[in-house]
Amino acid sequence: MKTERLALYGLLTSLALILSYLESLLPLSFAVPGVKLGLPNIAVLFALYRLGGRGACTISLVRVLLASILFGNLFSLAYGAAGASLSLLVMLLLKKSGKFSVAAVSVAGGVAHNAGQIIVAIFVLETRGLIYYLPPLCVSGVAAGLLIGLSAALLIKRADIGKK
């Protein structure tokens, strides 16, 4: 059983990393810089519901670290880690409450991710003016979070791997 669980961790981390790379190829920053779909969150949500909080945290943080090394820089690590950490915290709390669907958990995670990145950007760039990016990023977080959440919910329902 431990071997299967370790293999699932590797599979989901690899999937999240591949989705990070694919996402880096999509030019979505037409209105607001930094807008992304959050494709790697499909793997993180799957892990959250199939492996629990510890598994989701491990997969998310390893993905952020590897994606920053492979496709980014020190700033992408700072922004990614802040967004992923706040997103995970919110998603863990909402899932634990048992009152929210996978899609709702994903939407909240998407908005929290954007908020985490804006907070870091305000400190790094030393300007509070960046707060004005938050409303359009929240809208994109809701839209992308819904899309990702519905996709992850379908995967969680259909996949037979990693059931507790």
CATH classification of the domain holding 72 = 1.10.1760.20
Number of domains in the chain: 1
Whether residue 163 lies inside any domain: the answer is: no
Does a structural domain hold residue 50? yes
The predicted-structure confidence for 8-43, as pLDDT tens digits, reads as follows: 999 999 999 999 999 888 876 656 666 788 999 999
Which residue ranges in the chain fall short of pLDDT 70?
1, 28-34, 161-164
- Domain membership of residue 146 (yes or no) is yes
- Is 95 a domain residue? yes
pLDDT digits (tens, 9 = 90+) for 68-77: 999 888 888 9
Residue 71 has what pLDDT? 85
pLDDT of residue 29: 61
Is 142 inside any structural domain? yes
Predicted local distance difference test score (pLDDT) of residue 41: 95
Residue 6, phi-psi category: left (phi > 0), alpha (psi -120 to 50), beta (remainder): alpha
Task: Report yes or no on 164 lying in a domain.
Answer: no
53 domain-assigned:
yes
Model pLDDT, residue 86: 96
Could you tell me which residues come within 8 angstroms of residue 144 by beta carbon, excluding any fewer than 6 positions away?
A: 36, 37, 38, 110
Question: What pLDDT, on a 0 to 100 scale, did the predictor assign at position 90?
Answer: 97
Whole-number pLDDT of residue 42: 96
Residue 61: how many other CB atoms lie within 10 Å: 17
Burial class (CB in 10 A: 0-12, 13-18, 19+), 27: exposed
29 domain residue, yes or no: yes
Give residue 88's domain range: 2-158
